[in-house]
Structure 1
Amino acid sequence: MNENKLVTPAVWNDPDDAPELTDDFFERADEFQGSKLIRRGRPKADQTKQALTVRYDADVIAAFKKTGRGWQTRMNLALRDWLKTHSPQEYK
């Protein structure tokens, strides 16, 4: 008779390996009153980002991706810097 076997072996985690819960952890934690969520742990930014779909040339994306993690933030900063000296109206 075939028995059900775990696909991956169960790994026991020692509870002593858990990270220490610091004051910083609790400051960022979600807060509930009963079952109602009062506050998310991540603070809201003063200026939020807007998600949209854009198409760029592959070489432009590759150049920014080569710089590693945070490449989208650096691309945003580069566009913001460009706007200081240019107007999008120039390229209509």
Structure 2
Amino acid sequence: MNAKSTTARFSLSEIEAARARGEDKTRDDAPEAESLGVDFWDDARVVMPPGKTSVHLRLDSDIVDWFKSRGKGHLTRMNAVLRAYVDAQKGR
């Protein structure tokens, strides 16, 4: 698979082709989910997440450097970490 970005989307045929080329990064021991069935997608809805808010945020330099060192999409990854924290706190 091409590393388009951390939020890249691939079709099922693109994923299957990448697997056939040995480019799949899925762990060999990862469990395979049960099929949703062909009919599932006939009535499936795509729900867009709520809008984003632009903020000015002061962070420790080493934190920003660490996220940036992981490549393009560091702000998206930071948002994902914050989302996981919020979701975990809601579950308390």
The structure that is strand-richer by fraction is 1
TM-score by length of 1: 0.42
User: Which protein has the larger Cα radius of gyration, Structure 1 or Structure 2?
Assistant: 1
TM-score by length of 2: 0.42
Structure with bigger RCO (C-alpha 8 Å, 6+ apart): 2
The structure that is helix-richer by fraction is 2
